[in-house]
Amino acid sequence: MKIERYIDHTILKPDATNVEIKKYCTEAKENHFYSVCVNGSNVVLVANELLGSDVKVTAVVGFPLGAATKETKAFETKNAIENGANEIDMVINVGALKEGNSNYVLEDIKAVVEAAKGRAIVKVIIETALLTNEEKLIACNLSKEAGADFVKTSTGFSSGGATVEDVRLMKEVVGDALEVKASGGIRDYATAMAMIEAGATRLGCSASVNIVKGLKTNNEGY
């Protein structure tokens, strides 16, 4: 198994510079990671840096709070795709989910799916650390109903990241209809493998190079 092909090499910190982002792109090409995941303003830079390689471009939408309107998220999605993004990682409106407004969340996800249709993969970040198990089930089912491609555990910017239990639960809900991306706090090979064994087919990591080398890191964040 080539663990590198599970990895979205991720740099989403607010103070990321062009020099750092280019370094991530170089690392992604050298290690053949699946994609480089960045904020929307960095998509053009990353697309240019990865041109001609086997590494895709992932852009986050509604990040990290998920509290933008569906229209804003749809525009972000279209803009990111026009700038070179192949995949979209969108954050749901967590507050709407928690107050039981499932229709709002469904329409929120649908807006992004429709904006990306035929042009980019859509991953739905449900922010598991803020949800009960019942809410996680609802979020996964809404993502499936909306036509998304993946459900994803976390932004990496909330109170917690991916857990094996959450990945397993999400995979049980979506089955073969959707894939599962684990993200947040995956900093070593053992943790990465545990997520894959639980059902994740993609990993969001910033410590990606150490992971593929089997090294441990104390890096915080994504």
Contact 124, 113 (CB under 8 A): no
- In the structure, what pLDDT confidence band is assigned to residue 193 with cuts at 50, 70 and 90? very high
User: Of 78, 123, 136, 152, which is the active-site residue?
Assistant: 152
- In the structure, what pLDDT confidence band is assigned to residue 63 with cuts at 50, 70 and 90? very high
Q: What is the CATH architecture assignment of 3-212?
A: Alpha-Beta Barrel (3.20)
Q: Specify the pLDDT at position 216.
A: 47
Tell me the pLDDT tens digit for each residue of 165-185. Answer: 999 999 999 999 999 999 999
Kindly tell me if the per-residue pLDDT of 219 is higher than 50: no
- In the structure, what pLDDT confidence band is assigned to residue 1 with cuts at 50, 70 and 90? confident
Tell me the pLDDT tens digit for each residue of 68-123. Answer: 999 999 999 999 999 999 999 999 999 999 999 999 999 999 999 999 999 999 99
CA angle 128, 129, 134 (to 5 degrees): 55
The SS3 call for residue 13 is coil
Note if 22 is an active site residue: no
User: Of 73, 78, 89, 108, which is the active-site residue?
Assistant: 89
Query: Token pair for residue 36?
Result: 């480089």
Report the alpha-carbon distance of residue 43 to residue 76 in Å, rounded: 11
Nearest Cα neighbor of 22 from 32, 40, 36 is 36
Report the alpha-carbon distance of residue 54 to residue 66 in Å, rounded: 30
Percent of all residues in the chain with a pLDDT value above 90, rounded to a whole number:
95
Q: Specify the pLDDT at position 215.
A: 55
Q: How many CB atoms lie within 10 A of CB 124?
A: 28
Nearest Cα neighbor of 158 from 81, 91, 97 is 91
Kindly tell me if the per-residue pLDDT of 11 is higher than 90: yes
Kindly tell me if the per-residue pLDDT of 222 is higher than 80: no
Output b/e per residue, 10-33; b: 16+ Cβ within 10 A.
bbbeeeeeeeebeebbebbbebeb
Note if 8 is an active site residue: no
Length of the chain: 222
Characterize the bridge pairing of strands 179-183 and 121-125. unpaired
**C-alpha to C-alpha distances, 135 to 18, 48, 130, 144, nearest whole angstrom:** 38, 39, 9, 14
What one-character DSSP code corresponds to residue 86? S
Note if 89 is an active site residue: yes
What one-character DSSP code corresponds to residue 99? T
Query: Token pair for residue 175?
Result: 């089955």
pTM score, whole prediction: 0.95
Task: List, in order, residues 6 or more apart from 155 with CB less than 8 Å away.
Answer: 60, 63, 64, 91, 125, 127, 183, 184
Characterize the bridge pairing of strands 35-38 and 7-10. parallel
Nearest Cα neighbor of 121 from 201, 22, 2 is 201
